[in-house]
Amino acid sequence: MIATYTRKELMVVAAAREIRDGEVVFVGMRLPLLGFGLAKATHAPTAIGLFENGVIRDRPAEAFIYTMGDPPNIVGAIACLGLNDVMSLLQQGRVDVGFIGGAEIDPQGNLNTTRTSGSGSMVRLPGSGGGGDIASLAGRTVLIMEHEPRRFRERVDYITSPGHFPGRRRGGPATLITTLGVFDLSSGEVRAASLHPGVTAAQVRAATGFTIAIDDSVPATTPPSTDELAYIRRADPDGFWTGDRTKGE
Amino acid sequence: MESPLTNKRRSLAEAIAEQVHDGDAVALGLALESGIPFAAVHEIIRQRRKDLTLIGPISDMAFDQLIAAGTVAKVIAAWVGNVAGGSGYGFRRAYEQGHPRRIVMEDHSNFTVGLGLKAAAMGLPYLPTFTGMGGDIVRGHPRIRPIEDPFGGPGLLAVGAIKPDVAIVHAQRADASGNAHLWGNLGLTVEAAYAARRTIVVCEEIVPDDVIRSDPNRTMIPGFLVTAVVEEPGGALPSSVQGYWRRDFQTFLAYHGLSKTPDGYQSWLKEWVLDLPDRRAYLRHMGEAAVERLRVRDRRLAAAANFAP
């Protein structure tokens, strides 16, 4: 029997699978908070998590968290430092992988979270946070986005978190995880690595405002295992992060 | 006996009245999502400060509240919104429509805010970095410029010093001289306190100075940098304070909903700021049950460290 799971649960699982055992991870906000814990609890038990507020953990948070500053993410940490300390490790090249969310993306993996006129009038977005730093300085980045045509644009209005560009010192976008699939960005173009179960290539093309490479043989994203789902539902018991109305199969 | 000049203990209203002036650059929300001095934010609004410059990495909804109240002329930050819901509607109205007044935004990443404060804390005009290259934040930025490496390496960016007039930080405990113990994530708290011309420490408890001296490694802010100490338990709610308060997520969410419209914001402002004289009244207005649900009663004590000579 295949368990029922939500799109968001599948995205958390996809994020966790981007973390390899032993890696140093710059965790980021929202879904990666769960993805890091899931990776630790499953295939990456020796991964280390850096949080931009200064926390360094080698265990998942002890209870549900809304933010990286919530008390269950502090207790049991291996260090509580400052923002410049963890950013310095990032700048030095000690971070293997970092997670970033975006409101808009272009084919080079540039993310915009600053301001957009994409839907007519200008809309001010919250800004970079640590996103621009992770994009600039991590060994590779994993991007997480809602997959909607207005968000997937040939050119973003503002590059908050730089993608691939000539002269980049290191890193750059490696993987994009969306509500529709998982995409490889490491070659400088957007290529489907897997589509979530039930999602068609036509659906993805219709939701993407630029050309996207989808092979006929593209596999389906491997659904969450029962162990993965069990962890997620312990860590997010009310489905705050992972409950949504779009059920997978 | 301490003279009134050396005694730094103040009520929050006194500290804001004495140390936060119209036009000041005010750093707060420095630990990121926890320890945000909301009681001080509300007192600044009550005292109707204007033309402030706000400095912080991510401010959660504190900056949004100050901006929507019309107290702010300029924001130097990496992220302004509401972590619970994303957008900060007060910030958006000010930036997009000039309501209730126009604001100037100096966009940063978290690290460039950190480097600017660190430069000021070190007494330097700038610090070099590689962050932000290839992106638009650093393009034409008033405080970030390309520089050459004098040692012949690749080009860098210089982030100019950010020097606050006043930093407001929330600490777990401090003595009457302002020596402050903080634990948990620190964000940019230490840099801001070192960089600022004046620092207000708002704390859960004022403790005897021998408590501070028992663990000097936990003194994140030495008291001689501190210009006012305020004992204000619960002064950071609805944000969390390690060992004292859990995050009150519902309050962030409720503000997010209300602040969608100017009228909704005004009703929030009246109920939770203007109609209340101080933080004690705020906690009473929350209700005892709500306050007690957030209070941390468990003990997870750090092992003692032996400082014997």
Contact A123 B96 (CB under 8 A): yes
Contact residues, chain B, for A53 at CB < 8 Å: 31-34, 185-187
Decide: residue A94, CB within 10 A, 0-12 exposed, 13-18 middle, 19+ buried: middle
Question: B136 and chain A: CB distance < 8 Å anywhere?
Answer: yes
Question: B232 and chain A: CB distance < 8 Å anywhere?
Answer: no
A193 and A218 Cβ atoms separated by less than 8 Å: yes
Contact residues, chain A, for B184 at CB < 8 Å: 69, 71, 74, 80
Question: B65 and chain A: CB distance < 8 Å anywhere?
Answer: no
What are A143's strand-pairing partners?
A100, A176
Count of CB atoms situated within 10 Å of the CB of B21: 16
Contact B58 A84 (CB under 8 A): no
Task: Say which of A9, A18, A23, A52 is annotated catalytic.
Answer: A52
Q: How far is B159 from chain A (nearest CA, A)?
A: 13
Q: Each residue's pLDDT tens digit in chain B (309 positions)?
A: 445 556 899 999 999 999 999 999 999 999 999 999 999 999 999 999 999 999 999 989 999 999 999 999 999 999 999 988 889 999 999 999 999 999 999 999 999 999 999 999 999 999 999 999 999 999 999 999 999 999 999 999 999 999 999 999 999 999 999 999 999 999 999 999 999 999 999 999 999 999 999 999 999 999 999 999 999 999 999 999 999 999 999 999 999 999 999 999 999 999 999 999 999 999 999 999 999 999 999 999 999 999 999
Query: What is the predicted pLDDT for the residue at B225?
Result: 98
pLDDT classification of A248: cutoffs 50, 70, 90? very low
CA distance B179 to B263: 42
C-alpha distances (whole Å) from A66 to each of A34, A44, A108 are 10, 23, 31
What backbone phi and psi angles, to 5 degrees, belong to B54? -100, 140
* Test the B interface: residue of A26, A51, A53, A144 with most B CBs within 10 Å: A53
Question: B185 and chain A: CB distance < 8 Å anywhere?
Answer: yes
Query: What is the predicted pLDDT for the residue at B142?
Result: 98
Interface ipTM? 0.97
* Test the B interface: residue of A83, A124, A241 with most B CBs within 10 Å: A83
Average pLDDT over residues A145-165: 96
B185 and A54 Cβ atoms separated by less than 8 Å: yes
Q: Please name which of A28, A49, A39, A1 lies closest in space to residue A131, comparing C-alpha atoms.
A: A28
Query: What is the predicted pLDDT for the residue at A1?
Result: 44
Please state the three-class secondary structure of A171-226 as a single string.
CCEEEEEECCEEEECCCCCCEEEEECCCCCHHHHHHCCCCCCECCCCCCECCCCCH
Whether the predicted pLDDT of A100 surpasses 90: yes
Contact A128 B83 (CB under 8 A): no
CA distance A37 to A12: 10
Query: What is the predicted pLDDT for the residue at A29?
Result: 84
Q: How far is B185 from chain A (nearest CA, A)?
A: 5
| Amino acid code (one letter) for A140 | R
* Test the B interface: residue of A27, A62, A84, A114 with most B CBs within 10 Å: A84
What is residue A20's DSSP assignment? P
Any catalytic annotation for residue A52? yes
Average pLDDT over residues A31-52: 95
Q: How far is A175 from chain B (nearest CA, A)?
A: 19
Decide: residue B102, CB within 10 A, 0-12 exposed, 13-18 middle, 19+ buried: exposed
Contact B83 A74 (CB under 8 A): no
